[in-house]
Structure 1
């Protein structure tokens, strides 16, 4: 299954270095501007799109307003309503304005934080193969285990929007 609205959505790539608190990743974060529109922004359809590409465990909510990351899974976020300024990569990372239709694929270890959003801001999140995820904030005692975890997260078999031949599989190589 692939996104019908913009199947050839070009992904912008962002690389973040370990900042001493947030480990980040050697894999690039992928930002797909306006990849979804119309009915694909309905939660049930967006979840179905992700599930069709084996990104499972979907949920609907916002993005935490503190820097955090996941060391046990990659994550996809699709903005379905509203907009937010989201900082990726830790305190000194890059802030991106994400609005309805934008999709972000966040590698394990990459920090993210909602710096301010519209009242109607909502995302759908999911994980490759429904992997379980943790929630880490960069505390020193988390670091040894989180670095090991990040190194053990497998690459997804498919891009959450475009399937096995999508941009993710080209950008994320072993």
Structure 2
């Protein structure tokens, strides 16, 4: 299976800030053996792992970046708010969401599951589209440190190249 890496920026959606400085990174087909996703994330210090589903409402985290690795099934996930980007994800795909990136599952197969993790095991806060917290959210997002490692490749990899300041 050939790995394809794509990155893109999301515009500020008003009620969902997204991240003005860092792109979303999608690794398509990076894992052939889906059972190794969690171990790979943890090996590269993206910890605090969990397994399950993606919420079916727009939400984001202002205090940490997040990586999602698809372990089974398929789903369409909407990133960036209602006018954002739809991603069709399948087992073996990984998506890295910079702090502030809105995400929501639109539809999925019954067997859809992901493993999620955070750099240095940070604990995410859960924000919904609330214009009342906007200024505080933007301030927090700008202060989230860059990860030291790529969740898939470790000491090198697309994340470290694309997120260099």
Where 1:47 maps in the other structure, the secondary structure is helix
Match of 1:31 in 2: 26
Match of 2:13 in 1: 19
Match of 2:121 in 1: 130
Match of 2:40 in 1: 49
**In 2, Cα distance between equivalents of 1:171 and 1:89:** 19
Unmatched 5+ stretches in structure 2: none
- Structure 1's consecutive aligned runs of 4 or more residues displaced over 3 angstroms after TM superposition are none
Task: Pick the aligned partner of 1:168 from 143, 159, 162.
Answer: 159
1:100 and 2:91 matched: yes
Q: TM-score, normalised by structure 2?
A: 0.95
Q: Deviations over 1:110-145 (max 9, x none)?
A: 111100000110000000000111111120222122
Where 1:145 maps in the other structure, the secondary structure is helix
Superposition RMSD in Å:
1.2
Task: Pick the aligned partner of 1:87 from 78, 84, 89.
Answer: 78
Corresponding pairs, count: 164
- Superposed displacement of residue 46, structure 1: 2.0
Q: TM-score, normalised by structure 1?
A: 0.91
- Superposed displacement of residue 34, structure 1: 0.4
1:78 and 2:74 matched: no
**In 1, Cα distance between equivalents of 2:8 and 2:38:** 25
Unmatched 5+ stretches in structure 1: none
